[in-house]
Homo-oligomer: A and B are copies of this chain.
């Protein structure tokens, strides 16, 4: 293969609930069959209205306790509402398992880049469905058969800083399994599974920029058509040797 390119989609406006993201993307780039459109979670969450005004949140005693003196207990309450399990707790920092099965900081609840000062942004309810919907809308708008990956920035154990990973996908090979294939020396590769969609997410993050409001990138030249889902990257705890 001859390589691939990652191009930011420039000039998108601040997004709000109900905005036609597919149309906004289609106006700003020429999509081709086989492209992968990578979208930061916050863009998807905003158009889906996954924004919570803190003014309406009543923090529980647990939220107040975890918030301590430094954090907003209402924000902690929203995190608790999004979490099915607190995996690590170092108040006011929380690592939680979300309803989707993702393990991430603050259960994916984000206060930075929120559209209003007193709001927070939640993960999409179903990021795979979000990706499938955007894919279909992009096909309607452009005629191009593209893949879509929805990303978020996750921390991880044992390594510093965050990388973007895929939380939703449509029309994309998410995990490539080389089991049964042979390496150049003729050896069978056992359970060599590559998280392609996470690597695509990370590549796109390199052009997103947190500051200059570029939440969409187009990856062109990769042969990664498939039907994987972001959920494929959630490992069942019982098979997670790394836990």
Contact status A233-B195, CB under 8 Å: no
* Copies of this chain: 2
Interface size on A, residues (CB 8 A): 74
Q: Are B14 and A184 in contact (CB under 8 A)?
A: yes
Residue among A14, A103, A217, A242 with most chain B CB within 10 A: A242
Complex contact B111–A194 (CB within 8 A): no
Complex: A183 Cα to B111 Cα, angstroms:
11
Question: Are A183 and B4 interface neighbours, CB within 8 A?
Answer: no
Once bound together, how far apart are the Cα atoms of A209 and B1, in whole Å? 10
Of the candidates B161, B175, B200, B210, the one whose C-beta lies within 8 Å of that of A175 is: B161
* Chain-B contact segment, one of A19-27, A87-95, A126-134: A87-95
B207:A1 contact, CB within 8 angstroms: yes
* Chain B neighbourhood of A213, CB < 8 A: 184
A222 close to B (CB within 8 Å): yes
Known contacts A161-B193, A203-B203, A234-B160; decide if A178 and B211 are in contact (CB<8 Å): yes
**Is there contact, CB below 8 Å, between A1 and B8?**
yes
Residues of B near A4 (CB, < 8 A) are 5-6, 206-207
- In the assembly, what is the distance between CA of A164 and CA of B184, in Å? 19
Is the beta-carbon distance between A5 and B8 smaller than 8 angstroms?
no
Q: Is A45 an interface residue (CB 8 A)?
A: no
- Complex: chain B residue closest to A236, CB-CB: B160
User: Does any Cβ of B come within 8 Å of A241's Cβ?
Assistant: yes
Interface 9-residue window, one of A47-55, A74-82, A150-158: A150-158
